[in-house]
Amino acid sequence: MLQDRWFEDYVPGTVHDLGSVVVDEQEVIAFARQFDPQPFHLDKERAEKSAFGGLIASGWHTACMTMRLIVDRYLSEVSSEGSPGIDELRWLRPVRPGDQLTVRITILDARRSRSRPERGIVRSQTETLNQDGEVVMHLTSTIFIRRRNQKDAE
């Protein structure tokens, strides 16, 4: 996690590119075995006969890989205070072993909290793209971020 990013640093319209992760076949199967044991996530032969024509990652696995990049390269350990939830989550394309996923976040809105003036509320759109630049997942979410100057909150 980043050390020094505060609410004031989350500027609407700013785009953050968070780097990439390669989808590993064994991780796809292990995740599916534990959390989403559908045949097209677990078994290559059965997946080839499915509508997907091959093994694909669970959408939840895609969300988890995305979240890892968000935690490692976007949120700040000194100011991040969690999220009340996701407003929208869509899986738009299958994610396959070997795909290279990149994550991009666009800040949509940032405002001071009325009830808790020591923090702000940041709304953003997150896009996860494959190596061909196709959006495979997108979500809209809200996070709470501490303000840099607590004296201004009083």
Q: Mapped to the 3 state alphabet, what secondary structure does 89-150 carry?
A: EEECCCCCCCCEEEEEEEEEEEEECCCCCCEEEEEEEEEEECCCCCEEEEEEEEEEEECCCH
Residue 2 banded pLDDT, cuts 50, 70, 90: low
| Inside any domain, residue 84 | yes
**Residue partners of 86: CB distance under 8 A and separation at least 6:** 139, 140, 141
Average pLDDT over residues 126-149: 97
Mapped onto helix, strand or coil, the DSSP state of residue 66 is helix
Q: What is the pLDDT of residues 27-63, one digit of tens each?
A: 999 999 999 999 999 999 999 999 999 999 999 999 9
pTM of the predicted structure, to 2 decimals? 0.93
Burial class (CB in 10 A: 0-12, 13-18, 19+), 128: buried
What is the reported pLDDT for 81?
Answer: 96
Domain assignment present for residue 71? The answer is: yes
Q: Mean pLDDT check: name the lowest of 3-7, 29-33, 52-56, 74-78.
A: 3-7
What mean pLDDT, rounded, does the chain reach? 95
The pLDDT score that the predictor gives to residue 3 is 72
Residue 20: which CATH number?
Answer: 3.10.129.10
pLDDT of 118 > 60? The answer is yes
Does residue 2 fall inside a structural domain? no
3-class SS of residue 21: strand
Residue ranges making up the domain that contains 101: 7-153
Asked if residue 151 has pLDDT above 80, the reply is: no
Sequence-ordered strand ranges (E) for 6-65: 15-22
Q: Residue 91: pLDDT band by 50, 70, 90 thresholds? A: very high
User: How many domains is the chain partitioned into structurally?
Assistant: 1
Residue 1 in domain: no
Identify whether the C-beta of residue 59 lies closer than 8 Å to the C-beta of residue 135: no
